[in-house]
Amino acid sequence: MIDRHEISVNINGRTASYQVEARRLLSDFLRDEVGLTGTHVGCEHGICGACTIMVDGRATRSCLMFAVQVNGAHIETVEGLSKSGKIARLQELFSEMHGLQCGFCTPGMLIVAYDLLRHRRSPSPADIREGMSAALCRCTGYDGIVKAVTQAAREGAIVPPGVAEQPAPGGDRS
């Protein structure tokens, strides 16, 4: 017998209830049951960052959580952040500055960069490299990614001008 639990979760602004297996990974739930395939599954050990999403406003590795753990939570995936326009300019800059190649890591990179820029309005290149180390890329060499995030910070693409810099709330939830 499969142990199933009912959860209610807000995903990209829509609240719904689901029946999930107790051991169903959040990443697999989002991809296979919700149909949000922008959440990529790479290493399944929380190292690569391809599965990074926002859970209750914090960057989170979805391959390290069970779906039952997000009962009552607010989740934002790359699809939701794209649709809402929260990362539209950041996406453009990743393309313009050659911060992506194969694209597999890109959704996780965008979420990590989004979270970094929400908390650091004017990060230095060293801050960006450190912050972006939470997501791995095998193709780009990171220079284009750093340039894209630097330009997004200059433009205030994530945090509107005039908003005070906020400390990161305890870092990654993974």
CATH of the domain at 46: 3.10.20.30
Q: Dihedral (C-alpha) 84, 164, 94, 173: value to the nearest 10 degrees?
A: -80
Q: Show the domain range for 72.
A: 4-81
The sheet with strand 14-21 has its strands ordered as: 14-21, 4-11, 74-76, 52-55, 58-61
pLDDT at position 159, please?
56
Do 25 and 77 share a structural domain? yes
Asked whether the beta carbons of 146 and 93 are under 8 A apart, the reply is no
Helices (H), the chain: 26-28, 78-83, 88-96, 106-119, 125-132, 143-155
pTM: 0.86
Do 75 and 17 share a structural domain? yes
Do 10 and 74 share a structural domain? yes
CA distance 67 to 15: 14
Domain count, the chain: 2
- Does residue 134 belong to any structural domain of this protein? yes
CA distance 36 to 99: 23
Chunked into runs of 10 residues, the chain (174 residues) has average pLDDT values of 90 96 96 95 84 96 97 96 90 91 88 94 93 85 91 83 47 46
Do 57 and 26 share a structural domain? yes
Residue partners of 115: CB distance under 8 A and separation at least 6:
54, 58, 59, 168
- Does residue 102 belong to any structural domain of this protein? yes
CA distance 52 to 44: 11
- Does residue 20 belong to any structural domain of this protein? yes
CA distance 68 to 24: 8
Do 64 and 23 share a structural domain? yes
pLDDT at position 165, please?
46
Q: How far is CA 119 from CA 8, 101, 124, 133, 160, in A?
A: 28, 27, 13, 16, 12
